Amino acid sequence: MSSVTRALVLALGVAVSLVAGACGSDTAIVLEIHKAPGVSSEVRRLQVFAGVGHDADLYDPAWWVAADLDDTEAVVTLDDEMAATTYRYLVRPGGGLALDRELVFVVAGYKNDSDLKPVVFGHSTTHAHFEDGVVRIYDFPLDTFADARHGVTPTGCAWWDDEGTRVKRDAIVPRDDGDCDSYRQDPDDMVDCQLDCDDRDPGIHPGIAEICADGIDQNCCDDNDGQDDLDGDGFARCGAALSDCVDLTPGTPGPINVFGEEVPSAEIHPGAEDVCDGLDNDCVNGCDGGDLYDPDGDGYLNCRSGDGDVVGVHRTADGCDVAPLDCLEIVRLGAPLPATVHPGAEDVTCDGWDNNCNGTCDEVMVAAGDQDGDGFPACTTEDDYIVDSAPQCRLGFGADCGGDDSEFEHPGRAERCDGIDFDCDAVLFPETSPCFVVETDGQTTRCAIGARTCNDQPGSANAGFSACAPDANAPATTLPMEWCMAVCSSPTDPVQCLNSFGPDCVVSFPMESSTEPCLPEPVEIELPQDAGVGGCNYTLVGGGAQGEWNVTLVNPIGGTGNTALGCGSKLRILGASPGAENRVVLVVSGTAPHVFELKRENQCDAGGPAVICQ
């Protein structure tokens, strides 16, 4: 709750007074009224409704009876926009608010004095009551108004339904509109066809559509069971191929659109212009139907009034409700599909887009922070849109490209020739030891990672591969890695995918996760002799530091390094630093690639290393 608090200046006689007038021995109820978190609607006027007890004798269901408060007591025009201010509304017993009765309250907030539809709404979540000599304080947050959950009728009935089904489960009803259907039972200044002929049945009143030929006068107008054209627009509710979906007598208030404006009944009929206002103006396809107002078909649309006001609308099978604006309605380069971006959608990926249209991009991933303890968060997307016209934010710097579930993939890591982006630079292979693939068949796309031709020295990339005279239809043609990535069905293991034979050897290497390796001696594996000239010349692709693992090649005549010459050369696994990843794949290239998978076993009592070679 905001630290800024103001007292409402009211003149409610014995019932309500300034908060400043309450003292320690007073008997009162104080409503602390404020916007709920995330509510951005502009509020300049408040209206308070008080309900007293349940009176099953008068009302069915037994709703709350409205206390008799006139507009000077219940309607408050604020000096400024409500913003983050908390207002205190003081209620004392008297004027129908008895000490011994249960009470409920509703507060509706409006943008302008002339608006008929609220923009925010709040209701009691528990029953209140006075206690002699005690000032009770109730927190009263105001949420965004929704047609399916809230309502204030022209007769002064305030209702709510927390389940969002448009059912008036709870209501504060005035005595002259006991069924909360917006029509009074008492004549007052009403004319024919505007009186509620059954004030205990909300399904019978002048504003309801007549059910054709059922013998019941639903609209209280004795209109020949829906055969007469009541509003003079040329269409009746019943008796014709094209029926009028709203047919009210002149003088009867019409439905309210999403801009808070009343639309006369005579302007709603078959053939009328279907404007974007939350109503079914032409009696076809429901409210705001078709692709004109909802081009992406996600059920969320942005209606624009003639005055330039823009209101978000959510269209369902039950009708249209006011909703936040749809921030992406058309296809944009690099954006998700527009139908997946709308209020209420999931925003759980780090893609730089505001998928749920709440004004912030990737908030779930950003809030998750650094989950794998490598010092880099999974997502560093910035808060603000790059431009106001598109729901896109800058991705930021220093994000963990390993998805924050691997401590070994993050900015600054050493890259390896395994098709995994370990250093988070969006390049899969190290610049100092380029990785190549070969089309080995000539007719089908089969690739082997690590094989090199033409210039076999580490760091020699043969720019553009033109020096090797590439030919996609010739065997053993050197190609860029990206040419073969499309055939991989499992992007989590590109080496295994591109080398259809799998790893030459799998080494299970016992060690503890937080101590030094428990092997007394390094592991050595003899490299197979390749066919042809140079069949015993080998290069350790990516060098001796394979992440946290340390490896080297051993020449048969002595010496170690990243290259080995001579048959009988070996791959020596020196070990790994404490905390090294559980699995690493490395490649030794000769005239054919040789793939080795190193697996860590987190126990020192597993015996010596297990080496399985094919």
Please say if the pLDDT value at position 45 is more than 90: yes
CA-CA distance, 596 to 586, in Å (whole number)? 5
**Mean pLDDT rounded to a whole number for the chain:** 75
* N-to-C CA span, the chain: 68
Most confidently modeled range among 221-225, 436-440, 558-562, 602-606: 558-562
Is it the case that residue 313 has pLDDT exceeding 90?
yes
| Greater model confidence, 401 or 363 | 363
Q: What is the pLDDT of residue 267?
A: 94
Residue 579 pLDDT class (50, 70, 90 cuts):
low
Residue of higher predicted confidence among 535 and 337: 337
Top mean-pLDDT range of 69-73, 191-195, 601-605: 69-73
What is the residue type of 611? V
Say what the pLDDT of residue 403 is.
53
The per-residue pLDDT for 236 is 86
The predicted-structure confidence for 167-184, as pLDDT tens digits, reads as follows 788 899 888 888 888 887
Average pLDDT over residues 242-246: 86
Whether pLDDT at 55 is above 60: no
- On the question of pLDDT at 298 being above 70, the answer is yes
- 573 pLDDT more than 90: no
Whether the per-residue pLDDT at 465 is higher than 50: the answer is: no
- Of 40, 16, 39, residue with least CA distance to 27: 16
> Higher pLDDT residue, 9 or 141?
141
* pLDDT at position 218 over 60: yes
**pLDDT confidence of residue 339:** 94
Greater model confidence, 45 or 488 = 45
- 364 φ/ψ angles, rounded to the nearest 5 degrees: -70, -50
Contacts of 212 (CB under 8 A, 6+ apart): 225, 226, 237, 238, 239
Residue 19: which of 37, 31, 4, 1 has the closest Cα? 31
Neighbours of 455 (CB within 10 A): 13
Of 18-27, 32-41, 60-69, the poorest mean pLDDT is in: 18-27
User: At 196, which amino acid appears?
Assistant: D
Task: Identify the top-confidence range among 51-55, 305-309, 355-359.
Answer: 355-359
Provide φ and ψ at 538, rounded to 5°.
-130, 150
Given a contact cutoff of 8 angstroms between Cβ atoms, the answer to whether 65 and 50 are in contact is no
Give residue 474's pLDDT.
Answer: 37
Neighbouring C-beta atoms of residue 94, cutoff 10 Å: 15
Instruction: Report the DSSP pairing between strands 135-144 and 28-35.
Output: parallel
Residue 102 pLDDT level (bands cut at 50, 70, 90) = confident
- What's the pLDDT score for residue 194? 66
Question: C-alpha angle 230/235/241, rounded to 5°?
Answer: 135
User: Stretch 79-96: mean pLDDT, rounded?
Assistant: 88
**pLDDT over 50 at 461, yes or no:** no
Q: Which of 13-27, 188-202, 425-439, 453-467 has the lowest mean pLDDT?
A: 453-467
| Span 378-414, pLDDT tens digits | 788 888 898 888 899 988 777 766 554 456 666 766 6
Mean pLDDT check: name the lowest of 1-15, 289-303, 533-547.
1-15
* Nearest residue to 305 (alpha-carbon basis) of 356, 354, 260, 245: 260
**Per-residue pLDDT reduced to its tens digit, 509-553:** 766 655 555 555 678 888 888 766 666 888 787 677 776 778 899
Predicted pLDDT at 418? 55
Q: Which segment of 324-333, 524-533, 560-569 scores lowest on mean pLDDT?
A: 524-533
What is residue 2's predicted lDDT score, i.e. its pLDDT?
A: 30
